[in-house]
Amino acid sequence: MIANPSIIIVEDEDLIQAMLACEFEDGGFTVAQATNVEQAIFLLDRPGAEYRALVTDIRLGHAEMTGWDVARHAREINPRTPVVYIGGDSECDWAARGVPNSIMIPKPFVPAQVLSAISRLMSPRTIRGPGG
């Protein structure tokens, strides 16, 4: 495992996770990957872990906690962490449940859309999303 990856991708579908990881690595990011909320929280809470951004699916298997919870936890650690949510049926909940300065991308998507969204959010002049 890489000591300080710059982005964390939380996705329970292996193919989607692999495509996103490839896109971000090709874009110059180092990537940490989690397939569920517990793994994501573990990675976020690791001593010395510093992430520049978070990409998270909303529905992660049959767990009670969701990508909304992962994003809130990441924001407790760093209130400026850019967040991109991905999901197949959660777009209508984004305004109420998403964190400020986030973007929601509905499935299906092209991995380059997610990389572009993270790049926009990392720009110091960008404010998007709920409350932003």
pTM tops 0.75: yes
Residue 3 scores a pLDDT above 50: no
Instruction: Kindly compute the dihedral angle of the four CA atoms of residues 102, 7, 51, 114, in this order, to the nearest 10 degrees.
Output: -10
Cα–Cα dist 97/127, whole Å: 17
Instruction: For 21-55, write each residue's pLDDT tens digit.
Output: 999 999 999 999 999 999 999 999 999 888 999 99
Instruction: Kindly compute the dihedral angle of the four CA atoms of residues 75, 102, 99, 7, in this order, to the nearest 10 degrees.
Output: -30
Residue 90 scores a pLDDT above 90: no
Where residue 1 falls among pLDDT bands split at 50, 70, 90? Answer: very low
Where residue 129 falls among pLDDT bands split at 50, 70, 90? Answer: low
What's the pLDDT at 114? 97
Domains in the chain: boundaries: 7-122
CATH fourth-level superfamily of 7-122: Response regulator (3.40.50.2300)
